[in-house]
Amino acid sequence: MQIARILQSQGFGSRRECRSLVRAGRVTVNGNAVDDPFLEFPLDGLVFTVDDEDWEYREKACLMLYKPPAHECTHKPHFYPSIYTLLPPELTARGVQSVGRLDQDTTGLLLLSDNGQFIHTWSSGKKRIPKRYRVTLKHPHTPEFIRQLLEGVLLHDEAEPVRAADCTPIDALTLWLTITEGKYHQVKRMVGAAGNRVEGLHRDCIGGLQLPAVLEPGDWCWLSPAHLAALEDYPQTA
């Protein structure tokens, strides 16, 4: 593929803008300077730099973000900054979208991609993908409260009770809660229906993928083959 088309596919601007980048001497490919925008390169294992920043060619962008508090999962936020301001502009130019959303005050693991099939797979409720949250409560939990979450609570506008896949206390005011659906404000509504209130919410796991300890709030990284394999590694439920 021509280097200008490669740059365009990776979010570096229009075809004309990418040709100008190359002609200005701002691009190298596999360590070699390139000044002809029409030169062609194989895509497999391609590494290029723009303004001395390394990039690996990726046909599709799949990444994870440690969402910090006070950020909205939308391109048009109302009250807080968008999560997309935390990403390089090249990724937003590619059209990456969050896989589902976290409330502005919820932190933790968020997947993003420009791959429609990936987004559909990991946001669909049909696969019953487990998502684990660390929940901080307003009032101490009780055995009855945990029983209700595990056996199911009826949410407003829902015909059937909604159950937690797992509920494990951490301390008097904190617990791990795993859900396999993606209903609107589900954890907060479940906790409210069981007679308590969420004071803090953090998602640390989707499928079998746990938020890496090396990521700090606001950090992002590409999903590696190991990460993608971990996503799929979770107990299947009926």
Enumerate the active-site residues: 103
- Alpha carbons 202 and 195: distance in angstroms, whole number: 20
From the number of C-beta atoms within 10 Å of its C-beta (0-12, 13-18, 19+), residue 178 rates as middle
DSSP H helical ranges for 33-154: 89-93, 116-123, 143-151
Task: Identify which of 120, 66, 67, 113 has the alpha carbon closest to the alpha carbon of residue 92.
Answer: 113
Task: Identify which of 17, 11, 18 has the alpha carbon closest to the alpha carbon of residue 93.
Answer: 11
Chain Cα centroid distance, residue 116: 14
Place of tokens 């609107």: 184
